[in-house]
């Protein structure tokens, strides 16, 4: 009797041990799968945090799916309105071109259905099952951002564990794509709002600043038309001079407006050449002296011949604007001094005046478009605040910097830098 009992006990014990062994193996496999799932999702999250575009998100998703399933992957971008973008096929390493069938129009039609209905379709599903690929939506909170296609035809069905992990990856990718798109839309709205604000400000500024000289021109012209024969020569000459000055001011204003618009749109065409700095400064002074009878404009030269890389026409415009500002915002009989000095690989050009200067609170704003400051012009005209903004755009297009500082004992100095050239090497190249 003892032998059968011993045998039964051993059998029961062996059966229990085998059950425990199977259970432990199953738990071990599940633990490994959970660890693998966690590792894949963490790796996906880490990669997606660095993504800045929708295309990067799709590429990350494709690479993660390939690592998970070892199958070719097709990725479509979608605009949220059920419209598919371009197809990107990600082959297995060393098998490029073998998945060309994924680009068929029929396959694209299945992907389009998925984008429109936000449901999976294709192989292994009950919808459009004769497709070569299984197509899954990549969706965010309330719209589809893309479609992922996984080749099924020759590879067999995807296991339940892999399929669940695939869905988790695509959900995370969809959330990241939604965040990127929301940020891009917010940025576009911000740019549109700023553009609209700039347009409104420009229209207000133009209408205000053109009214004063135009009124003066039309008034003086009317006086000359109605009473020209009864006004003495000196009075007529003064009216002619006023009309001419207002017209020239309008021409400068419009030219600055057009130039700063081109600069803001990135359409400043630079003709960079080696130029002698003193020649450019002299040309700017000759242009300004005709309209600055009550001011002294001079060039403070140290005798050193400085050569800079620049578009001379645009740099003359910078100097004309800076000199014009100095003339317009300083009292009569003030002095404007131009000087240039070499500092390492840069040449710094200064335009100094001995006027009232600019308060510290305004110095950080003087180069902003439409900023006029608190000082009135000597002729009571109000500028549009474009001249210094244009100067900044031109100087930065040359790779230089521009700024303003106080002069001693009073006044201010506007300065900007240009790339310096070595005189000897430049002349040697020319020879």
Domain boundaries, the chain: 1-50, 51-184, 202-264, 273-430
Region 34-54: what's the mean pLDDT?
Answer: 82
C-alpha span between 51 and 154 (Å, rounded) = 32
In CATH, what class is 273-430? alpha beta
Among 349, 320, 350, 351, CA closest to 419: 349
Predicted confidence (pLDDT) per residue in 328-385, tens digit: 888 888 899 999 999 999 999 999 998 888 888 888 888 887 676 655 544 444 455 6
Region 17-37: what's the mean pLDDT?
Answer: 72
E runs forming strands in 228-386: 273-276, 296-300, 307-310, 335-343, 346-353
Is the model's pLDDT at 126 over the cut of 50? yes
At 430, the pLDDT band (50, 70, 90 cuts) reads: very low
**228 DSSP assignment:** G
Q: Which uninterrupted H or E stretch holds 425? A: helix 423-430
Is the model's pLDDT at 90 over the cut of 70? yes
Is the model's pLDDT at 94 over the cut of 70? no
Long-range pairs of 354-357 with CB within 8 A, sequence gap ≥ 24: 354/330, 354/407, 354/410, 354/411, 355/326, 355/329, 355/330, 355/331, 355/410, 355/411, 355/412, 356/329, 356/330, 356/331, 356/410, 356/411, 357/406, 357/407, 357/410, 357/411, 357/412
Q: What three-state secondary structure class fits 341? A: strand
Q: What pLDDT shows up at residue 424?
A: 58
* Beta pairing, strands 296-300 & 335-343: parallel
Among 49, 118, 117, 111, CA closest to 86: 111
CATH number of the domain located at residue range(s) 202-264 in this protein: 1.10.287.130
Q: How many CB atoms lie within 10 A of CB 424?
A: 9
CATH number of the domain located at residue range(s) 51-184 in this protein: 3.30.450.40
Q: What pLDDT shows up at residue 427?
A: 55
C-alpha span between 362 and 329 (Å, rounded) = 14
Among 196, 95, 113, 188, CA closest to 149: 113
Report the range of poorest mean pLDDT among 207-216, 243-252, 309-318, 398-407.
Answer: 207-216
Q: What pLDDT shows up at residue 59?
A: 92
Predicted confidence (pLDDT) per residue in 281-301, tens digit: 999 998 887 667 788 999 987
Q: What pLDDT shows up at residue 380?
A: 44
């Amino acid at each position: 009797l003892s032998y059968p009992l011993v045998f039964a006990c051993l059998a029961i014990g062996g059966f229990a041990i085998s059950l425990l062994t199977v259970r432990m193996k199953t738990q071990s496999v599940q633990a490994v799968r959970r660890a693998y799932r966690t590792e894949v999702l963490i790796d996906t999250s880490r990669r997606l945090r660095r993504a800045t575009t929708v295309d990067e998100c799709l590429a990350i998703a494709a690479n993660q799916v390939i690592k998970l399933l070892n199958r070719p992957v097709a990725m479509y971008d979608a605009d949220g309105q059920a419209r598919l973008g371009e197809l990107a096929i990600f082959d297995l390493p060393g098998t490029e071109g073998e998945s060309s069938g994924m680009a068929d129009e029929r396959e694209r039609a299945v992907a389009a259905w998925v984008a429109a209905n936000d449901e999976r379709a294709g192989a292994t599903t009950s919808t459009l099952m004769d497709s070569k690929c299984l197509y899954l939506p990549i969706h965010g909170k309330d719209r589809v951002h893309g479609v992922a296609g996984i080749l099924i035809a020759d590879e067999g069905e995807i296991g339940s564990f892999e399929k669940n992990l695939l869905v988790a990856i695509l959900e995370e990718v969809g959330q990241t794509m939604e965040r990127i798109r929301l940020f891009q839309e917010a940025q576009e709205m911000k740019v549109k709002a700023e553009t609209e604000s700039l347009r409104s400000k420009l229209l207000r500024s133009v209408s205000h600043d053109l009214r004063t000289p135009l009124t003066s021109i039309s008034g003086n012209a009317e006086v000359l038309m109605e009473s020209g024969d009864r006004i003495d020569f000196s009075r007529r000459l003064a009216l002619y001079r006023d009309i001419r000055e207002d017209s020239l001011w309008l021409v400068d204003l419009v030219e600055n407006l057009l130039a700063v618009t081109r600069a803001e749109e990135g359409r400043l065409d630079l003709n960079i050449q080696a130029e002698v700095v003193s020649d450019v400064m002299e040309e700017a002074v000759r242009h300004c002296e005709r309209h600055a009878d009550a001011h002294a404009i001079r060039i403070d030269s140290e005798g050193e011949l400085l050569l800079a890389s620049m578009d001379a026409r645009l740099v003359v415009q910078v100097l004309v604007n800076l000199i014009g500002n100095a003339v317009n915002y300083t009292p009569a009989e003030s002095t404007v001094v131009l000087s240039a000095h070499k500092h390492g690989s840069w040449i710094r050009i200064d335009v100094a005046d001995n006027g009232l200067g600019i308060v510290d609170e305004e110095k950080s704003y003087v180069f902003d478009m439409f900023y006029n400051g608190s000082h009135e012009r000597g002729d009571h005209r109000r500028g549009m605040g474009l001249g210094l903004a244009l100067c900044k755009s031109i100087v930065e297009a040359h790779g230089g910097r521009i700024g303003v500082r106080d002069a001693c004992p009073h006044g201010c100095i506007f300065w900007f830098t240009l790339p310096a050239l070595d005189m000897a090497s430049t002349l040697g190249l020319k020879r």
